[in-house]
Amino acid sequence: MRLTIRNINEMKRKNEQIPMVTAYDYTSGMIAENAGIPMLLVGDSLGQVVLGHDTTIPVTMEEMIHHTKAVVKGTNKALIVADMPFMSYQASRENAILNAGRLLKEGGAQAVKLEGGTRSASTVRRIVEVGIPVMGHIGLTPQSVNQMGGYRVRGKTEQGAERLIEDALDLQSAGAFAIVLELIPNAVALRITSKLKIPTIGIGAGPHCDGQIQVLHDLLGLFKEFTPKHAKKFIDGSRLFTQAIQEYVQEVKSQTFLVDSQKSKINNIKPEEITTK
Ligand code: KIV
């Protein structure tokens, strides 16, 4: 039985921190769940870390459904939240409901996430009304990168902070079950978190949120070139993976590559010992 949004809301009530990470396929979903992650996000960050785009803008519904299906297959306890990609919910509320529905019906997710505060609240309300749990996302909203002119901290002025608080309250009133706070000052995250009944999940928003989310590839150090300031690299995955593959290359080249099964007698029969019977 998978965790539900009730379990996640209960964690806030019990003051239990909520660890979240992104997953994009069967294997990463399985590993993250086995490591104890209760709620996974199939993030549209897959546009960058899996598909190699510069931004999340090109990600399609088909791609989100494809990756969500894989994560769902690799897990059986975690609550799976699927990101609604750019232009899958902005054009009309009807469109938003149909696309959110596809992520549940075809992808197998239990909830969706979409970006924007007050401006997205009426869309969130309509999706929630048809029975689909929605996670909000405010602060830095990567799908608006062209409008914001880059990935910058939001809510640095008192006016900006008030705006974010209003955004969060509007999403809560619209029925969102949790809200991601991305790249906002710690003090603003604290103000928002203490005003809300629903959990806040921070990324670059300091320690006062009800949970934290990280992009899996940042956590595992899979990008050699770039780790965002708000990410903590727990292992240098890029170096370790490269090293392992280099060792394999060496073994193949020197003809010393043998897996255990090839070391058994049966595999070591000499050509002249092979019979036709
Ligand atoms: O797509 C994503 O990975 C996200 C997280 C950064 C919150 O939206």
Per the structure, the count of domains in the chain is: 2
CA 245 to ligand 1 center in whole angstroms = 29
- Residue 115 alpha carbon, nearest atom of ligand 1: 8
Amino acid occupying residue 174: A
Q: Which residues contact 252 (CB under 8 A, 6 or more apart)?
A: none
* Banded model confidence at residue 163, pLDDT cuts 50, 70, 90: very high
Judgement on whether residues 90 and 225 belong to the same structural domain of the protein: yes
Judgement on whether residues 44 and 95 belong to the same structural domain of the protein: yes
User: Token match 């505060």: residue?
Assistant: 117
CA–CA separation, 78 vs 202, rounded Å?
19
CA–CA separation, 80 vs 39, rounded Å?
6
Range of weakest confidence among 105-114, 117-126, 165-174, 220-229: 220-229
Record the pTM: 0.94
**Cβ atoms of 110 and 79 closer than 8 Å:** yes
CA 82 to ligand 1 center in whole angstroms = 10
Helix (H, G, I), strand (E, B) or coil at 102: helix
Amino acid occupying residue 8: I
Identified catalytic residue from 16, 158, 162, 182: 182
Ligand 1 within 6 A of CB of 115? no
Judgement on whether residues 95 and 118 belong to the same structural domain of the protein: yes
User: Token match 């190699």: residue?
Assistant: 52
Q: Residue length, the chain?
A: 277
Joined tokens for residue 98: 């149909």
Q: How far is CA 99 from the centre of its chain?
A: 18
Mean pLDDT confidence for 225-242: 90
Span 65-79, pLDDT tens digits:
999 999 999 999 999
Judgement on whether residues 96 and 196 belong to the same structural domain of the protein: yes
CA 113 to ligand 1 center in whole angstroms = 9
CA distances from 16 to 8, 188, 196, 202, 209 (A): 9, 20, 15, 14, 11
User: Token match 């069967």: residue?
Assistant: 26
Q: How far apart are the first and last CA of the chain?
A: 52
Which of 48, 56, 67, 83 has most ligand 1 atoms within 8 Å of CB, for mutation? Answer: 83
CA distances from 31 to 37, 177, 203 (A): 9, 25, 21
User: Token match 């009304």: residue?
Assistant: 129
Judgement on whether residues 145 and 249 belong to the same structural domain of the protein: no
Ligand 1 within 6 A of CB of 203? yes
CA 250 to ligand 1 center in whole angstroms = 38
Span 29-39, pLDDT tens digits:
999 999 999 99
Judgement on whether residues 136 and 251 belong to the same structural domain of the protein: no
Judgement on whether residues 164 and 256 belong to the same structural domain of the protein: no
Ligand 1 within 6 A of CB of 167? no
Query: In the annotation, is 182 catalytic?
Result: yes
CA 22 to ligand 1 center in whole angstroms = 7
Ligand 1 within 6 A of CB of 44? yes
pLDDT > 70: what percent of the chain?
Answer: 96
* The pLDDT value given to residue 223: 79
Ligand 1 within 6 A of CB of 38? no
Averaged pLDDT score across all residues of the chain: 94
What CATH number does residue 118 fall under?
3.20.20.60
Mean pLDDT confidence for 136-162: 92
Judgement on whether residues 19 and 120 belong to the same structural domain of the protein: yes
